[in-house]
Structure formats: C-alpha cells, structure tokens
Chains A and B, each alone.
Chain A
Amino acid sequence: MSGYFTELFTGTKSLAIGLGITIKAFFQPVVTLQYPYETLEMKPRFRGHIQLTQDEETGESKCIVCGMCQKACPTGCITVAGKKPEGSKKKALTRYILNFTTCSLCGQCVESCKPNAIEFSKDYNLASFDKNDFIFDLLKRLKEKS
C-alpha cells in the first residue's frame, strides 16, 4: 500500500518535472535559422558538387585533362574531354560534364586531382523542376563565373 502511494507521488513529481522542462524551453529563444532570410556560411570543406578552379593568372581552368578524376569516380559521373590546341603540348579542356544526379560526394575526384583543378562548390541549396539542370557543364559555368 505504501508502494502505491510512493509511486503515485514520484510519478506525479516526474510529470511535473517534465512540464517544467518544456515550459522552460518555451521561454528560451528559438534556435531556428530562417532559411530564405538567414543563411549559413558553408564550411570551407563543405562538399557541394565539384567545380573547376580558376587559374589566377589566366582565368582559365587548371585542368590538364589527365582523366584521373574520371577514373577515380565510383559512379562515373564525370566526363572529361580535351584536345591539344595547335602549337601546344598540353591538352586543353574542352568539355567537363558532371552528372550531379549520380554523384555521391565522396571526394575521390578532388583527392585524385594533382593540379588542383577541381574543388567543391558551396552550392548547398539546389532545387529545380528539371533533373537535367543537374547535369552541369562545368567549363561553361567557369566561363560564366569569370
């Protein structure tokens, strides 16, 4: 019988404690980040889709079309093409297609890229009505950017 009342008492007390915790939270400031108005700055290592880096001098891509990224990609979402312009030894990039819809953001392409020609972008809020929007022509994007 005494157990009955003890349980009744401790039970009621535990319920009251619970109410106290939630009401305290009610008067605490909200933690919400109001997205379209407030945004987070992405961390330097944030992995968005990849993009081509810009050579500071020429403004062109640093890519040497070695194809390492294409080889390293587990899902084969990168297609690189290049050709040698006349009178040049090095290949120049002509096409860099990223099919972001199959990318798994593992970072192996960036890791494998010796000349640091690709990096992760900070595009964290992509959405579209058409899935072909996510097949990026990175070279074109680079040109638009500069």
Chain B
Amino acid sequence: MGTESVQPSLIQSVVKLTQLDKLLGLGRANSLWPMTFGLACCAIEMMATGASRFDLARFGAEVFRPSPRQCDVMIVAGTINHKMAPAVKTLYDQMPEPKWVIAMGNCAISGGPFVFKGQYGIVEGADKFLPVDVYVPGCPPRPEALIEGILHLEEKITGSRRWPRVEAK
C-alpha cells in the first residue's frame, strides 16, 4: 500500500460554519466508521463496545472497516511501540480526510504503565505523532468510556452534544 502525505486538518482550516457545513458535520458525526485496528488489551474492550451489551451500532459507528481507506476514525487502542509506530502513521496517512483519532487507554495517551526510566520500546503516547482528538483514559477503559469518547468526538464535529451527560456516581 502506498503512502500519501495529506496535509493535516486541510479540510478543517477551509471550513467555515454554514448551514451546509452543519449538515455535513451532522452526517459525518453520525457515521463514524472506525478502523478494525486493535493493538493490545484495549482492543478487547473496543470489541466489547461493539458487542451486544453496549452496542456502538446505535450511533452508527459499528461499521468497523478493515481498510484504512474507508475509515473516518482511528481508535488507537493499546500500546504503540517503536516498531509499530511507522505502521500506525502509515495507516493514518492512508485514511482520507476528514479523519479523527481517538486515543483509547492509558498506553495510547501517554504510554501508560509501560513508561519507566530507561524504557527502550514504546512511544509515550499516540499524540507524539498523531493529532489525537479525544482521549479516553483507563486501563483499559470501560466500554461506556469509549462510547463517551465517540460522543465527545461527535460533539467536536457538530459543535453541540445531543446526548445527556452522565455523571458517575
């Protein structure tokens, strides 16, 4: 697969909020197709989010596409190490604009429990080389947290939140 360098946030910079863009935003926000891309433990929770109990499909985001060309959002679920980082970057580059990144789990946010002095293997956070839009912490996060992350992303795209906010008790 080839790589293309796509200027990041090319679309966002051009876009001004008009009625049409609002419609586009609504369309995009409600059809976030994630990539079938799991790295480690969090991937299992990502699968659990798509499973019957939590059902990511309600938000139209269950279409896990295995090919980056057809994806809108990359859920980085797990630790990225130095060997994997170029591949992740390639996959991100292969996604067509507009595209978003959710860093799921502590490893993707900052390296998580695998950060220690003198570590030689991992990238300390996906935001070191990807423009992360939403962070979902946890080790691993509960499926609700990932849904919350998707809702946050929709909030970011449309500018408002359609769903009630849930306060943890």
Interface residues of A (CB under 8 A from B): 30-37, 39-42, 48-49, 74-75, 99-105, 121-131, 133-134
A40 to B145 alpha-carbon distance, docked (Å): 12
Q: Contacts A32-B53, A124-B144 known; A104 to B113 CB distance under 8 Å?
A: yes
Distance (whole angstroms) from the CB of B57 to the closest CB of chain A: 9
List the count of A-B residue pairs having beta carbons below 8 Å apart. Answer: 115
Is the CB–CB distance between B106 and A35 below 8 Å? no
The smallest beta-carbon distance between B156 and chain A, in angstroms, is 7
- Of A34, A48, A49, A75, which contacts B113 at CB under 8 A? A75
* Cα of A31 to Cα of B149 in the assembled complex, Å: 22
Cβ contact within 8 Å between B166 and A127: no
A101: min CB distance to chain B, Å: 4
Supposing A125-B148, A125-B166 touch, asked if A104 and B112 sit within 8 A by C-beta, the answer is: yes
- Binary CB contact string for chain B from 122 to 142 against chain A (1 if under 8 A, 0 otherwise): 000101000011111111011
Nearest CB of B to A144, in Å: 13
Contacts A75-B115, A103-B139; A36 near B163 (Cβ below 8 A): yes
Distance (whole angstroms) from the CB of A107 to the closest CB of chain B: 12
Question: How far apart are the CA atoms of A123 and B137 in the complex, in Å?
Answer: 11
**Which of B106, B152, B168 is A122 in contact with, Cβ under 8 Å?**
B168
Dominant SS at the A interface? loop
Flag if A129 contacts B53 (CB, 8 Å).
Answer: no
8 Å CB contact of B135 from A37, A104, A131: A131
A31 to chain B, nearest CB (A): 5
Instruction: Check A35–B127 contact: CB distance below 8 A.
Output: no
Q: Chain B interface (Cβ within 8 Å of chain A)? A: 52-55, 58, 103, 106, 109-113, 115-116, 125, 127, 132-139, 141-145, 147-149, 151-152, 156, 163-166, 168-169
The answer on a CB contact under 8 Å between B151 and A36 is yes
A35 and B166 contact, CB distance less than 8 A: yes
C-alpha gap A104/B127 in the complex (Å): 19
The reply to whether B152 and A131 form a contact with Cβ atoms under 8 Å apart is no
A34 to B168, CA, bound (A): 15
B110 partner, pick from A32, A42, A131, beta carbons under 8 A: A131
In the assembled complex, the CB of B43 is this many whole angstroms from the nearest CB of chain A, namely 17
B75 to chain A, nearest CB (A): 12
Complex Cα spacing A37 to B164, Å: 7
Q: List 8 A-B contacts (CB under 8 A).
A: A35-B143, A41-B169, A42-B169, A102-B111, A122-B169, A123-B168, A128-B134, A129-B152
Bound Cα distance from A99 to B134, whole angstroms: 17
Chain B, residue nearest A46 (CB): B142
Residues of chain B lying within 8 A (CB to CB) of residue A124: 138, 142, 144-145, 168
